[in-house]
A and B are shown apart, each in its own frame.
Chain A
Amino acid sequence: MGRNVRWSIINVVVILYALIPVVWIASLSFKDPSSITDGSFIPNKWTWSNYSGIFKNDDFVRGLINSIGIGVISTVIAILIGMMAAYAVARLEFPGKNLVLGVSLLISMFPQISLVTPLFQIERSLGLFDTWLGLIIPYITFALPLTIFTLSNFFREIPWDLEKAAKMDGATSAQAFRMVIAPLATPGVVTTAILAFIVCWNDFLFSISLTSTTRARTAPATISFFTGSSQFEDPTGSIAAAAVVITIPIVLFVLFFQRRIVSGLTSGAVKG
């Protein structure tokens, strides 16, 4: 058996591992209500009705809007303040630098459930319970460690001497930043923003614990409330379609930014 054939088989096994569960949920979402319980892997009767159904469901649309809004706002804020800290960590010498990294590390491993009980009570007394801000605050906190680590690793790789060179060639500080440093830093910032957004987009625990209505409830939590509601006699198709819809952004990110996401996720691990 040639090397090519052997690697082809191995590749196919890995690809099947990753894709079969995803294809299954997609297949379920295309099944006609009459055939949804037939248990076949590929739909026997195809339909779009599950998709048109969930987009007519105000709760789900609202959940999507909440997810996108809360996710984007949290990501932007986490990137802004994370970028400042990452720049300091990568470029400056100051006492307390390791403390910042240490705290970030602790938080990245922090059990979220330990925050849920006190936050539930604190947010209720501050009027933040069941609001966008009430979710944005914990999301920023849990996106920050990843932002600081990933960005500081990207920043370390930027050839900062180019800034000096540009200034010597007569560029002002602003020009040097805009024309030399910003273009070099942008890919790292975009990658980090994607990773931070995935963290927020994925959350379920905070969203079901710190909301009580559709006002701020994000899409993953909304889906878990589909069960047994009067609008859906059998929620299977709707849940499957909604699961596919919230997976689409992830698939797009991965398709367009695979190389960057891999380098972002692995850059920190190398130093061990």
Chain B
Amino acid sequence: MNAVSRGKADERRLGWYLCAPAALVMLLVTGWPIIYSVLLSLQRYDLRFPDKRSWIGFANYGTVLTSGFWWNSVWVTVLITVVSVVIELVLGMAIAIVMYRTIWGRGFVRTVVLIPYGIVTVAAAYGWFYAWTPGTGWLANLLPSGNAPLTEHWPAIFIIIIAEIWKTTPFMALLLMAGLALVPEDTLSAASMDGATAWQRFRLVTVPLMKPAIVSALLFRMLDAFRIFDNIYILTNGANNTSSVSIIAYHNLIGGLNLGIGSTMSVLIFIIVALIAFVFVKGLGASAPGGTR
């Protein structure tokens, strides 16, 4: 009895020791900056005028929340997130089924699909940028001449969404493929014998059984899409009202050197992301990929 509980205490202590370095790094590198950025957000702090630094309460929040640029970037981010994630879900499901079911070349198809997943976003974004640059680009040349899609609001948003979808659908497809593997073949063939068509089998058997995988893939991609930065930075750098929240916060920091406003935006973005995660976890019972329940 005594030996058992001592063994347990040892196991506990070993568990804590082994987790301590990782937990410390993660908490220090994210926890302290978050607290610090809340503090910065309550100050007037512009690096161009460091003498004027002072505590100003929630004035920065007032400034940001009444700014048309901020709300436009929120709207652009939400639009890009929702449209790209919905399309990725459909396209990702199709690709997942192909990777899972195709009768030849399965390994090759999976290998090729991993390339967009792994490619550096900036590299891919330059590919899209030049493809849509008039004169240089093979896609721009398909348009009537005189069109420069990246310099107009809606065409630019459209191209940003395409770039985002192309790059991240494979990841969605991989997560969904893991869900497909959960559907027992017996159930599918039983449904088939009962006369269910392929579409009915998919809708009534496969989708309900892989719902956890779908919800966690959606949550993960939503939060990932909401952070969109690289693609927009390369494609438009926020011109013509195509800034996402990450882009506008970046410009306030690096371009504007305004730590107060930049931090306020950081805190607001963090709150929005936390809200999305909360809604998913509470409302849909999501657990992110890798989560154990």
Q: Residues of A at under 8 Å CB distance from B? A: 3-4, 7-8, 10-11, 14-15, 17-19, 21-22, 24-25, 28, 36-37, 39-41, 81-82, 84-85, 87-89, 92-97, 99-101, 103-105, 107-122, 137-138, 140-141, 144-146, 148-150, 153, 198, 201-202, 204-205, 208-209, 220-221, 223-224, 236, 239-240, 242-244, 246-247, 250-251, 253-255, 258-259, 261-262, 265-272
Contacts and interface: CB of A to CB of B under 8 A. Distances in A.
Contacts of B270: 110-111, 114
22 contacts: A14-B99, A15-B109, A21-B124, A21-B166, A37-B135, A88-B14, A88-B15, A105-B290, A110-B30, A110-B270, A113-B266, A114-B269, A115-B34, A118-B33, A118-B266, A220-B122, A224-B122, A243-B126, A247-B119, A251-B115, A269-B290, A270-B179
B6 to A, nearest CB: 14
Given A85-B19, A208-B233, 13 more contacts: A18-B116, A22-B115, A40-B138, A96-B15, A97-B19, A101-B292, A103-B23, A118-B37, A144-B26, A223-B126, A243-B120, A246-B123, A251-B118
B201 interface: no
A11 B138 contact: no
B18 A7 contact: no
Contact of A11 (B102, B121, B131, B171): B102
A92 B19 CA distance: 11
A84 B23 CA distance: 11
A148 B120 CA distance: 23
Contact of A270 (B122, B213, B234): B213
A109 B140 contact: no
Tier of interface size on chain B: 35 or more
B16 A117 contact: no
Interface in B32-52: 32-34, 36-37, 40
A101 B250 CA distance: 30
B245 interface: yes
Among A119, A254, A267, chain B packs the most CB atoms within 10 A around the CB of A254
A117 B25 contact: no
A21 B289 contact: no
B120 A121 contact: no
B113 interface: yes
B184 interface: no
A198 B118 contact: yes
B29 A137 contact: yes
Contacts, number: 329
B229 A205 contact: yes
A107 B233 contact: no
B266 A116 contact: yes
Among B26, B131, B290, chain A packs the most CB atoms within 10 A around the CB of B290
Among B26, B115, B128, B131, chain A packs the most CB atoms within 10 A around the CB of B26
B229 A113 contact: yes
Interface string B103-121: 1110111111111101111
Interface stretch (B149-157, B192-200, B215-223): B215-223
Given A7-B102, A209-B254, A202 B124 contact: no
A22 B290 contact: no
Contacts of B30: 107, 110, 115, 141
A208 B115 CA distance: 24
Contacts of B215: 272
9 nearest A-B pairs in the assembled complex, by CB-CB distance: A272-B212, A268-B290, A94-B15, A149-B290, A118-B33, A266-B178, A243-B123, A25-B127, A88-B18
